[in-house]
Structure 1
């Protein structure tokens, strides 16, 4: 750890050492390969969804699939912020991260993560309108309004990420500099602060709690109304199609929110499970999203078939 050579009160950390995930030393090459492959597959899977939505004329004008494309874009960036740092931790010199790099990683993680929370809420609202207000849906959720809502989610996410980064790094860090985690996140970094962190922990708990809980409650309310409306559909095929479309979104929301709540709403926790749970929603969820949506969504599967057949830009009149 390098420090400024002034007085001890002015001594500051210039870099952090990420201790990473606990693992047997002899498994390092295997773990490096596993996380490297996960990263490549995540990028390719989400890129395929993004290109499919962009190219297919039946998808890129519909709000539901515009939101899906934005989700894939977010997953690609979220994975890029976290996963390369994980597999670099399995190399001899990959544990050191500059102070500025730690600030940037924390900001972008919370920026992209909170934007995803808002986006999941918009997706639930879109499905609510489509199923519960089908006749008014083209007016209530059109392309222009969808774009405005997505832009609002990005702005709100950026503000949230900025607040968390500023609050975390306004505190002095004078050593030690060993972060007991696999990336720079608020709970792990705050433990190293050379000042009282009670206010930070309270604000983090309230801020993230409000964002996550309010989004989750809105999603649950939307789907409670959706389920009620679906049960009124007279045909079994119609009910199955509606449940299939909404089921993919609910699956994604569950695998994202449950680990987040486990991590951030347990203030001061040092459980060894935290790392494993965090790996799930930062690494596995972005990988699963393309699979969940392609396997459970008939429109996306059909569009993928047209794209792979080289017919993505051809309207079907068959």
Structure 2
């Protein structure tokens, strides 16, 4: 008998009180908050060194997307962008050459950030899963470390997504059809065009319905332990063997956090009998992913969604794969 269980008649085990974490950042990974005004007024803009042509700045990227969001959702309540940056690149003006760093004046310093991520919440478009309020969310990532700034100006790479944010924990919920991994553009105006295409191709009702189904399936403590063990085995397989199994992009330290939160997370931990719903498991994975660096966070988030969706599919078909047991 397959012990992976689908709950019937929408019955739900809910043994914990929901605890809001409104101040939790949507991404960690050594990042910190900045304002759009700071990016516009206080940061220099890197150039392509061989022709001194300007790159598209973080400010332009976010501002173009923000303007397009307001255009596409004219009757909705839209929050200002939340921006996280990392890997500060410091410099100084020519007149400060040779000056000790501790004597530099503020107007003698220059900075920009190698990596930048942002989200824009469409606050009036909301859904609810197991008392977790989800709001529609748009965002993107830009990483200068993925550009060849030592060449002449060429196409530049950006990432955009549209999905949901769980307001209980600020975790992002992103599906593959709501994510474009590598937009290649030569001007900031092309970013808005690409975002428009992304919104048109994204079905938020289908995305929400799939996540809602996660709440109908549970795995036991034994199955959870088996799953974690198989994930750790996956990391050490040869590449050819890995190709035979569903990929998982979280690292071993993040899986450690999943196990820790299985016992300790106030909102998504196991039930008293050791079972856990796929919805809670999904949120343990997305919470662990918040420690990823900006430049690979979105890919891992999408991978987590696909991984849990595959587990739900396995349960629904009453079959088991390499990650599950009967």
TM-score, reference length from structure 2: 0.22
Tell which has more relative contact order, 1 or 2 (C-alpha 8 A, sep 6+).
Answer: 1
More helix by share: 1
TM-score by length of 1: 0.23
More strand, by proportion: 2
